[in-house]
Amino acid sequence: MITRFDHSEKIFAEAQNVIPGGVNSPVRAYKAVGGNPVALAKGKGSRVWDEDGNEYIDYVGSWGPLILGHAPDEVVNAVCDAAKDGTSFGALTRREVDFAELLCEAVPCLEKVRLVNSGTEAVMSAIRLARAATGRDLVVKFEGGYHGHSDGLLAKAGSGLATLGIPGSPGVPKAFAELTLTIPFNDLDALKQVLQARGAEIACLIGEPVPANMGVVPPADGYWAQVRRMLDEVGALLILDEVITGFRLGWGGGSAWTGVKPDLCTLGKIIGGGLPVGAYGGRSDLMGMIAPEGPVYQAGTLSGNPLAVAAGLAALGALKKTCPWEELERNASTLADGIEAAAMSAGVPITINRVGSMMTVFFTDQPVTDWASAAKCNTARYAAYFRASLLSGVMLAPSQFEAAFVSTAHTDADIQETVQKAYDAFRAVMSSEL
């Protein structure tokens, strides 16, 4: 039972004096859902606690990385052990090679991989490489697709930009923005048109196998196979952004899930076991162009950081050993069914999009297949649902256009408790409109 937020309020007030908006990433400020953010103090398993001691069942999971839940023993122990040997070297280490080997073994498209520090960095670097390899400048992305905050990729982006209604960002030179073409997801005609018009100038298309930054939006059957074929016809590369889907949809990630092999892929979140990591990789002829093997420059002092790599090795080791994806599928499907029943009983129209252990409850009775349909959702209802859930002890993403993540730490009891609370949350949505 949630009691008070005094400490959270005080921390947020202080934060606003020294951090823009009081947060280090925009969606965390709760602007889209109202109220002030809860300051978290601790997490273990499926639960987090705020600075006032309130307990929540957590479905944010640090926005995707925590597939094993909070502070799993194997990851915590690996980080502590690694820290005793030194926290950073900026030099070749045994662990990073083991980690790269594990990534290449797991993800079918990875022949070679380079470690970086975030998903944003991974995507930036992959795009530089695609441009160098093709000698072309244009990049195609999806409306509502989010690939980090690098200049060229903020056009019609999802995640925080969608949440806050920002169509692009000041500070991005017009010349950069013009190099990005946006098309609707799941629309092969739109892709055909753009390829017909500018195919010879297009270096690559980048997309998430299952977009999860406009909320979760599954691809239509056979969509990615067609995209792959059409890109091949014009000599453009395919980059699959697996920052969220990597190891979330199975050992081989989203590319294995789609059955389509990209030229390059980007990873982050889960592969760092909750520490800051990114990676990009793919065809070895392309990766051979990266310095020092080739001329395409990309570097980083903390790349392959021993703590992050130790956490990643422990997390991926646990996933490899336990293969939890069927169990995650079962639990997430029980949760989605329960939420659907709760919404129906309160008379709230929703559409749940779920792929494996990631899902979004969209407040609409229409299918959500792209950004245009996601944007039609009733965000005021999502906000009311979010607030009622929070007060009942269920932590959701403070935005309609993000995903809820089920982890291996969520028990049957957690799922049942969440469903029970959803009945009250949907009733609260309706009464907020009376």
- Residue 146: active-site member: yes
Cβ distance to ligand HOZ smaller for residue 213 or 360? 213
Could you give the CA distance from residue 70 to residue 302 in angstroms, rounded to a whole number?
24
Query: By CB under 6 A, which span of 21-29, 93-101, 256-264, 387-395 interacts with ligand HOZ?
Result: 21-29
Tell me the one-letter amino acid at 350. Answer: I
- Residue 241: active-site member: yes
Tell me how far, at minimum, the Cβ of 271 lies from ligand HOZ, in Å: 16
Q: Which of 160, 199, 250, 254 binds ligand HOZ (CB under 6 A)?
A: 160
Cβ distance to ligand HOZ smaller for residue 32 or 236? 32
Q: Which of 27, 122, 238, 346 binds ligand HOZ (CB under 6 A)?
A: 27
Residues contacting ligand HOZ: total by CB under 6 A = 8
Cβ distance to ligand HOZ smaller for residue 63 or 185? 63
Return the residues of window 398-417 that contact ligand HOZ according to CB under 6 A: 402
Cβ distance to ligand HOZ smaller for residue 63 or 247? 63
| CA diameter of the chain | 65
148's tokens? 């980090």
Tell me how far, at minimum, the Cβ of 317 lies from ligand HOZ, in Å: 25
Query: By CB under 6 A, which span of 22-30, 197-205, 232-240, 258-266 interacts with ligand HOZ?
Result: 22-30
Angle at 291 between CA 242 and CA 106, to 5 degrees: 30
Tell me how far, at minimum, the Cβ of 403 lies from ligand HOZ, in Å: 8
Tell me how far, at minimum, the Cβ of 25 lies from ligand HOZ, in Å: 3
> Interface with ligand HOZ includes 379 (CB under 6 A)?
no
Tell me how far, at minimum, the Cβ of 38 lies from ligand HOZ, in Å: 13
Q: Which of 28, 31, 70, 156 binds ligand HOZ (CB under 6 A)?
A: 28
Neighbour count for residue 189 (Cβ, 10 Å): 9
> Interface with ligand HOZ includes 25 (CB under 6 A)?
yes
Tell me the one-letter amino acid at 281. Answer: G
Tell me how far, at minimum, the Cβ of 420 lies from ligand HOZ, in Å: 28
Residues with Cβ within 8 Å of 203's Cβ and at least 6 positions away in sequence, in order, are 127, 130, 131, 133, 134, 136, 137, 138, 139, 236, 237
Q: Give yes or no for a contact between 290 and 296, defined as CB atoms under 8 angstroms apart.
A: yes
x-marked contacts with ligand HOZ along 63-82 as a string, rule CB under 6 A: x-------------------
Return the residues of window 193-222 that contact ligand HOZ according to CB under 6 A: 213
Residues with Cβ within 8 Å of 189's Cβ and at least 6 positions away in sequence, in order, are none
* ω into 292 cis (within 30 of 0): yes
Side-by-side strand order, sheet with 264-267: 112-116, 278-282, 264-267, 237-242, 202-207, 138-142, 180-183
Q: Which of 263, 269, 280, 385 is catalytic?
A: 269
Enumerate the β-bridge partners of residue 265.
240, 281
Could you give the CA distance from residue 235 to residue 189 in angstroms, rounded to a whole number?
18
x-marked contacts with ligand HOZ along 47-66 as a string, rule CB under 6 A: ----------------x---
- Helix (H) / strand (E) containing 41: strand 40-44
> Interface with ligand HOZ includes 141 (CB under 6 A)?
no
Query: By CB under 6 A, which span of 25-33, 233-241, 262-270, 380-388 interacts with ligand HOZ?
Result: 25-33
Enumerate the β-bridge partners of residue 405.
358
- What burial letters (b/e) apply to 349-370, b meaning 16+ CB within 10 Å? ebbbbbbbbbbbbbbbeeebbb
> Interface with ligand HOZ includes 366 (CB under 6 A)?
no
Say whether 409 sits in a helix, a strand or coil.
coil
- Residue 188: exposure state from Cβ atoms within 10 A (0-12, 13-18, ≥19): middle
- Beta strands 237-242 and 264-267: pairing type? parallel
- Helix (H) / strand (E) containing 7: helix 6-18
Q: Which of 50, 52, 58, 241 is catalytic?
A: 241
Q: Which of 59, 146, 223, 385 is catalytic?
A: 146
82's tokens? 């690694």
> Interface with ligand HOZ includes 31 (CB under 6 A)?
no
- Residue 156: active-site member: no
Query: By CB under 6 A, which span of 23-31, 71-79, 98-106, 198-206 interacts with ligand HOZ?
Result: 23-31
Catalytic sites, residue numbers: 146, 241, 269
Residues that bind ligand HOZ (CB under 6 A): 25, 27-28, 63, 159-160, 213, 402
